[in-house]
Amino acid sequence: MRDSSGGRCVGVACAATAMLVSIAWASPSWADEPTSGSSPQEVIAVPASPEGSEPSEERSPGRFFTKAYYAEVWQRDYMTGDWGGLRTELNDHGVKPQIKLSQFGQGVASGGRDQKARYGGKVDWILDLDVSKFAGLWPGLFINLHAETQYGESTIVDVGPSALPNTSMIMPLPECGECTNVTNLTIMQGLWEGAIPLQHDKGAAVVAAGKLNIVDLLTMSFPNFGYGLEGFMNFNALFNAWNYLRFWFPAQYGASVALFNEERGMPQLSFLVYGQDNVSTTWDISDSFSDGVGLMGLLRYFWDVDDKMGYAAVLATGSTKKYSFLDGIVWEPPFPGLPPLPGLDVEEGQPWAVNPLIYQEFWRGAGGGKHERKAYVWLSGTVSDESPSFARWGTLATVEALGPFAGRPMDRTGLAGWYTAWNDSYEDELRLVGVSPRDIYGFELYYSGALSPWMHLTADLQIAQNLDKADDIAVIPGVRLVMDF
C-alpha cells in the first residue's frame, strides 16, 4: 500500500520555490557594501524613553542593540559573527573552525518504493589547522578534521535501489539514525613550490595520509561539487557514482601525492592508494589493506576561452581486491549482500573504471563583489568492467550558474541529467533479493537562494528511475536549509 504523505512534500517544495522566487526579485543585494551612515558594529545600551514620550523607531525601551546591529547579523558571513574578534584571531593563527547545520525535507510524491515525506539533517564539524601559522614550527603542514552528526530520516530507501537522492545523508552511513563519527582526518604536507610541467603555472606538491571521506576528496578535486550541500543533492548528479561504488566507500584509509595548480585551486596530477574497507564509523585499520588496495589517478589539463576557464581530465581507478555481488554494499541499506547459496555460480573479479571529464565556463557576470558569478557545463562519461562493478557505463551532463542575477551573487541554480547502464552480469543475483534489474536514469533541477550570507534555502526537484523494474519512476520534491555558524 502506498502512503499518500509524500504529497505534503509537493506543497513544501512549491512553497519553498515561491519563497525563492520572491527572494530573487525582492531581497537586497549582498554584493553591495554596507552604507557609511552607521557602523554595523556599533553596540549601544539604550535607555528607556522619558515618561510620556513615544519610543523611537531606532531606540525602543529595553533594547540593547541598534537597528544597525540587527542589520549586520543578516549581512555577516557566519550566524554567530566574529566571536568578538576571536574568529579572526584564530584564522590569523591558522585555525579555521566551521559548523554547518543542514536540514532536509524530502519525499517521494509518486513512484519509487514508498510515497513518504521524511525530515532529517546533519551537522558538519570541520576544523582546518595550518600548523605553520599555529605553531610556527613546521612549514607546509596542514591538518583537516571533518566530523558528521546525522539525525532524523532520509528518503533514500523510499526512492528505491541505486537512486541516492541525498548525498549528504549518505554520510556517515545511510539510515544510521542518530550518530556522530569522524569521517575525515587528513594530514597534508606541502613539499615545494615550482613549475607544473604541463603548463608552467605556479604549483605545489602535496602528500596526504589519513582517514579520507570520499565526498570531501571529490570536492577537493572538483570544487563545483560543494559537499552535496551547495549544489545538486543527488549523488548521481555529481558523479557517475555506480561505476565506482563497488570499491569506493564513504570513508577509507589512504595516502596520496598531488601536484596542485595554485592559480586554479585544483590538483593537476594526483595519485591515491586507499584501503578496501569502510571506516566511516570506525577507526579499525586491520582489514583495510588485508585483501588488496584501491588505486586512483587523476590527470587534468587547463585552458582558457575568452578568459573563461575550462579543463579536460581523466580519472582512472581500480582495485587489487577481488569482489563479487555477495560482498556487502554499504551504500544501499536494503542490499547488505547475500549469504552463500547452493548452486549459485559466484564470479569474482577486480573492478576498474575510467572516467573522462570536461568542464567549461561559458558565461561570466559582473557586479558580484567578492562572489564570482559564472555559468558552466560539466560533462562526464565512465566505462568499467563487466564484473564485479555494478555499472558497465554511464553518462552525466550538468549546467550550473553561480550568481544568476546581478543582485543575487550568492544564489545558485542548476540542471542535471544522468544515465547508468547496469551490468547484466548481476541480473540473476539481483533477482534473488527481489529486484528485476534495469538501467537507471534521472534529472535534477534546483535553485538555492541566499536568505543571508550564512543561510541558504534550496528548492529541489528530482525525477529518478531506480534499479527495480517493479517500481515506477519516482518524483522527489525536497527542500534544503543550510546554516553556517
Summarize pLDDT for 270-292 with one digit per residue, the tens. 999 999 999 999 999 988 999 99
CB-count exposure of residue 480 (10 Å: 0-12, 13-18, 19+): buried
Mean pLDDT of 310-332: 88
Is residue 224 a contact partner of residue 237, using CB atoms and an 8 Å limit? no
Q: What is the residue-averaged pLDDT of the chain?
A: 83
Q: How confident is the model at residue 44 (pLDDT cuts 50, 70, 90)?
A: very low
pLDDT at 60 exceeding the cut of 60: no
Q: What angle do CA 359, 360, 363 make, to 5 degrees?
A: 145
pLDDT tens track for 190-230: 887 655 554 555 668 899 999 999 999 998 889 888 888 99
pLDDT tens track for 227-261: 889 999 999 999 998 999 989 999 999 999 999 88
β pairing state of 266-275 and 412-422: unpaired
Whole-Å CA distances, 225 to 234, 237, 261, 474: 11, 9, 18, 23
Phi-psi region of 52 (alpha: psi -120 to 50; beta: other; left: phi over 0): left
Report domain extents, the chain: 4-24+86-484
Distance CA 485, CA 479 (A): 20
Q: What is the pLDDT of residue 138?
A: 82
Is residue 367 a contact partner of residue 402, using CB atoms and an 8 Å limit? no
CATH class, domain 4-24+86-484, is: mainly beta
pLDDT tens track for 340-354: 555 555 678 899 999
Q: What is the pLDDT of residue 343?
A: 55
pTM of the predicted model, to two decimals?
0.84
Q: How confident is the model at residue 394 (pLDDT cuts 50, 70, 90)?
A: very high
Mean pLDDT of 86-90: 93
Q: How confident is the model at residue 53 (pLDDT cuts 50, 70, 90)?
A: very low
Q: What is the pLDDT of residue 398?
A: 98
Is residue 90 a contact partner of residue 96, using CB atoms and an 8 Å limit? yes
Amino acid (one-letter) located at 436 = S
